[in-house]
Amino acid sequence: MRMRPTLSWTPAEDLPPGSTDPEPVAAALRTGGVLVLSGAGISTESGIPDYRGEGGSLGRHTPMTYQDFIADAQARRRYWARSHLGWRTFGRARPNSGHRAVAAFGRHGLLSGVITQNVDGLHQAGGSRDVVELHGSLERVVCLSCGALSPRRTLALRLAEANSGFAPVAAGINPDGDADLTDAQVGDFRVLPCTDCGGALKPDVVFFGEAVPPQRVAHCRELVHAATSLLVLGSSLTVMSGLRFVRLAAQLGRPVLIVNRDPTRGDTLAATRVALPLGAALTTVADRLGVPVDGRAEA
């Protein structure tokens, strides 16, 4: 079924204002059993822009849709050229204090799980375990014909060899690892097929307009049912893939707490929205709980 991706959302004027007091988040974590749902905003302090915040990539960039990728060989060429260049920058990103705080909360038994809408792997790099990657991961590549999975790093080496000298200067990098390049910069970039069957390759991520695998959604729903509360970190909740879990938590009577500087589509369902930078807010919470955050000096 063809889906129209939701790229924007206009906040209602009567949304409750954000708070600058992270104590409700600390109180929820003291109880334990908190399920984290994170979005692109948690990775901005690692140098990866978000989609919709201040300076968000949607202001200059329209993400590749699943339908365009499947139907158009030239669209796949543009995507892989831009993604190949972006991968180099993406691969240098390091977890920030927000990622490390989440990992610290997990180590101290305060979380029931972590669901991330991000594809950057920074939660795991920051020390979190058993992270559910709702939208997949750029670390893997899948063949659209035979379904074979392979490491992204292997494809990156193949693409580098096939496109020797390809090093245009990108105007920016996006949350999905896609670099901003013009068609002229893309040029005749060579796209490589699956080594098993010769089929078209796609990063193992959920594109805009593509459905999240149903078994993954079912697992996330189970996590919401098992949680005592839901803590949303750095997501505008514009797309339904994340908002549905906020709605489910509210239906189940689980408190929803949001840390996001800008209003979100889930604010009316939340007990509070803390309008503070994520790294500082979560570090403050960790201090109040007496939870050490590893590597804080690097933040």
State yes or no: is 135 an active-site residue.
Answer: yes
CB neighbours (10 Å) of residue 79? 23
* DSSP E strand boundaries for the chain: 34-38, 111-116, 131-133, 136-143, 149-151, 201-205, 229-233, 256-259, 272-274
Out of 205, 229, 250, pick the residue that ends a domain: 205
**Residue 5 in domain:** no
Are 256 and 121 found together in one domain? yes
Counted domains in the chain: 2
Residues 70 and 171 in one domain: yes
pTM of the model: 0.89
What was the pLDDT predicted at 1? 37
Q: What is the pLDDT of residues 233-245, one digit of tens each?
A: 999 999 899 999 9
Residue 11 lies in a domain: no
Do 167 and 214 lie in one domain? The reply is no
Q: What pLDDT score was predicted for residue 296?
A: 46
Asked if residue 12 belongs to a domain, the reply is: no
Task: Tell whether 157 and 288 lie within a shared domain.
Answer: no
* Residues 215 and 75 placed together within one structural domain of the fold: no
Whether 225 and 39 have beta carbons less than 8 Å apart is answered as no
Block mean pLDDT (10 aa), the chain, length 299: 50 78 98 97 88 49 84 94 86 92 98 96 95 96 97 95 89 76 92 97 93 96 98 94 97 98 94 96 97 65
Strand order in the sheet with 111-116: 131-133, 111-116, 34-38, 229-233, 256-259, 272-274
CA-closest candidate to residue 136, choices 208, 200, 206, 83: 206
Residue 172 shares a structural domain with residue 150: yes
End-of-domain residue from the set 180, 205, 230: 205
Residues 161 and 278 both lie in one domain: no
Least Cα distance to 278 among 48, 17, 59, 11 occurs for 48
Specify whether 152 is located in the same domain as 264. Answer: no
Of 236, 241, 234, which is closest to residue 277 (Cα–Cα)? 234
Q: At 280, which helix (H) or strand (E)? A: helix 278-289
Specify if 269 maps to a domain: yes
- pLDDT tens digits along 45-101: 998 877 545 544 444 456 789 999 999 999 999 999 999 988 877 778 899 999 999
Q: 237, 224, 221: which is closest to 33 by C-alpha?
A: 224
Q: What is the CATH number of the domain that holds 244?
A: 3.40.50.1220
Same domain assignment for residues 112 and 251: yes
Same domain, 87 and 99: no
Check 108, 135, 219, 225 and give the catalytic one: 135
Q: What is the CA radius of gyration of the chain?
A: 19
CA 31 to chain centre: 26
Could you list the residue range(s) of the whole structural domain that residue 192 is in?
A: 59-92+139-205
Q: What is the pLDDT of residue 61?
A: 55
147 and 265 both lie in a single domain? no
Regarding whether 278 and 243 lie in a shared domain, the answer is yes
- Asked, for residue 234, whether it belongs to a domain, the answer is yes
Q: Is residue 24 part of a domain?
A: yes
